[in-house]
Structure 1
Amino acid sequence: MDAGLIGSLVLLALIDSTSFGTLLIPIWMMLAPGRLHPGRLLTFLATVAIFYLVLGVALTFGALALLDDLRPVAASGPFQVAQLVVGVALFAYSFRFGKKRKGSEPGRLLRWREQAMSGEGSPKALVVLALTAVTLEVATMLPYLAAIGLISAAELALPTTVAVLAGYCLVMVLPALVLLGARVVGADRVQPVLVWVNGWMTRSAAETTGWVLGIAGFLLAANAAQELGILEAIDSLSGAK
């Protein structure tokens, strides 16, 4: 492995470290009231890293070939119609987010966080949360997919490939680990930053979800419409007028 490849992988891992599951959820968990239990957050981050590692190994050794076989199916007419329907449905569904409901409050979610981080809840809940977060992010793992492409092109031996992927996953959760260490050592200095991030997440969580669903739906529908020739038909009708 050359220095250029290592540098590219580190950069991609740091980009991946800013995602919802690798940074925002850990920050939100650190802000749970009461005494911090680092082991709880370490369980969450370890689950995220292991999931990424297993997925990376699967994609590197065989799953990419399966994706090549599935591309003709994805290009077929029925699949594109289904994609168009799903895209329009997601776009329409996104508008229900961000509307404040009377009496709505994040109390239930905050109580769950307090229970999970206080040591009263089962670690299984943290594992489930971690798996849910990274599963939802699979479609946006572009940096990780780019890293897997670079590693595959380097034609490394199996043990080396696994070790490099493990190093990538470690760097990916490193910022959250650094924040956790800072939270344990100097809570007074780190707390204001964490509180600001938590406030932003609490205020904009619904709106952000709506935007993500809306953008994803629009892109899916636009891609399907282009593949089906709908956009060209619309342009032709517009030109005829």
Structure 2
Amino acid sequence: MDLLTLAGLAGLALIDSTSIGTLVIPIWMLLSPKVRASRFLVYLATVAVFYAIVGVILVLGAEAATAAFAGLSGARWVAWVQLALGVGLFAWSFRFDGKKGDRSGRWRDRLAGEDATIPAMVGLGLGAAALEVATMLPYLAAVGLITAADLPVAGWLATLGGYVLVMIVPALLLGGLRLLAGHRAQVPLERLGAWLARHTAGALGWVLGIAGFLLARDAAFRLGLFDRWIR
């Protein structure tokens, strides 16, 4: 795998690191007066393992799909399905308005500070990651890059592991800062958490809108829908 691809994967992992599950909820956990490091790490480990398992399934599924449906790329009905998907994603993107808040509010009351149990943190991690499965577009792009690299099993497993590790590094760094700075980190964390809560939904809308537009445009050109205007 070349350096450009690795840089792209690192960039996608950093985008994934700013999601609700990988950064917003960890910040709220760190805002607890008596945050427990073990519970914090259990939560992050749960999210990372969940993403890794989904990634393995996607890579294996992509390889199987490529082998089974290699001849479908030129079929017109596939292009129509792609066009419908692109238009649907583009339309869906307008539901994510950063000015109206985001999905993260529903998790506030589920964080239980120092009284949180390990099963509760595992459940919270699984719930937060599962909630984002349908919109993990950077992760899907990363899996596509890993699949296209045609690596041996050990290679793509290591790459996938490195991706999910990079994805939780910002939260780990904030955890270390909270541990070292104590209550002095309270105000900066509150400001960062508020900023993320305001902008996460809007950023997700832009990602969905751009992805939908690109899918629809590619399908439209393959179907020749713009031929009359190009001529």
* TM-score, normalization by structure 2: 0.72
Question: Residue 14 of structure 2 corresponds to which residue in structure 1?
Answer: 18
The verdict on how the C-alpha distance between 1:11 and 1:174 changes in structure 2, with shifts beyond 3 A counting, is farther
Aligned-residue offset at 1:127: 1.1
Superposition pairs for residues 103-142 of structure 1, below 5 Å?
Answer: 109-110=104-105, 112-118=107-113, 119=116, 122-123=120-121, 124-134=123-133, 136-138=135-137, 140-142=139-141
Secondary structure of residue in 1 paired with 2:97: coil
Gaps of 5+ in 2: none
Aligned residue type for 1:194: L
Structure with greater Cα Rg = 1
1:150-193 Cα deviation digits (max 9, x unpaired) = 5x44x4xx567645643554344333222212222224454444
CA distance in 2 between counterparts of 1:146 and 1:164 reads 10
User: Aligned equivalents of 1:97 and 1:136: distance in 2?
Assistant: 11
Distance 1:87 1:144, change over 3 A: closer
| CA shift in 2, pair 1:93/1:197, >3 Å | same
Residue 89 (1) aligns with residue 85 (2): no
> Which of 201, 211, 220 is matched with 2:215 structurally?
220
Distance 1:109 1:82, change over 3 A: same
Offset, 1:84: 1.5
Pair 148,220 (structure 1): closer, same or farther in 2 beyond 3 Å: closer
Give the deviation of 1:224 after TM superposition.
0.9
- Contact between 1:13 and 1:169, CA under 8 Å: does it hold in 2? no
Q: Mean Cα displacement is larger for which, 33-42 or 227-236?
A: 33-42
Cα shift at 1:49: 2.5
Contact 1:53–1:165 at 8 Å: present in 2 too? yes
Query: Which secondary structure does the structure 2 equivalent of 1:75 belong to?
Result: coil
For residues 210 and 71 of structure 2, the distance between their equivalents in structure 1, rounded to whole angstroms, comes to: 25
CA distance in 2: counterparts of 1:178 and 1:76, whole angstroms: 48
Corresponding residue for residue 181 of structure 1: 176
TM superposition score normalised by structure 1: 0.70
The answer for the alignment partner of 1:36 in structure 2 is: 35
- Deviation of the 1:203 alpha carbon: 2.1
Aligned equivalents of 2:2, 2:222: Cα separation in 1 = 38
Deviations 1:26-57 (A, max 9, x none): 33222345332334432332233223433554
Kindly, what percent of the aligned residue pairs are identical? 31
Residue 18 of structure 1, CA deviation: 1.4
TM-aligned CA deviation for residue 19 of structure 1: 2.4
Judged with a 3 Å threshold, the aligned counterparts in structure 2 of structure 1 residues 11 and 87 are, in CA distance, closer, same or farther, namely closer
Structure 1 residues 206 and 177: alpha-carbon distance in aligned structure 2, compared to 1, 3 A threshold: closer
Instruction: Tell me if the contact between 1:83 and 1:224 (Cα under 8 Å) persists in the aligned partners.
Output: yes
Cα distance between partner residues in 2 of 1:175 and 1:191: 17
1:78 offset after TM fit, Å?
Answer: 1.4
Match of 1:202 in 2: 197
Q: Cα–Cα, structure 1 residues 187 and 133, in superposed 2: closer, same or farther, change >3 Å?
A: farther
Deviation at 1:149, TM superposition (A): 4.9
Question: Any conservation in 1 of the 2:56–2:157 contact (CA below 8 Å)?
Answer: yes
Instruction: Give the superposed CA RMSD.
Output: 3.7
Runs of 5+ consecutive residues of structure 1 not aligned to the other structure: 237-241
Q: What does 1:156-171 align with in structure 2 at a 5 Å threshold?
A: 162=157, 165-171=160-166
What is the CA–CA distance in structure 1 between the aligned matches of 2:181 and 2:2, rounded to whole Å? 32
Q: Distance in 2 between matches of 1:99 and 1:177?
A: 26
Distance 1:218 1:173, change over 3 A: same
d(CA) in 2 for partners of 1:231 and 1:167?
42
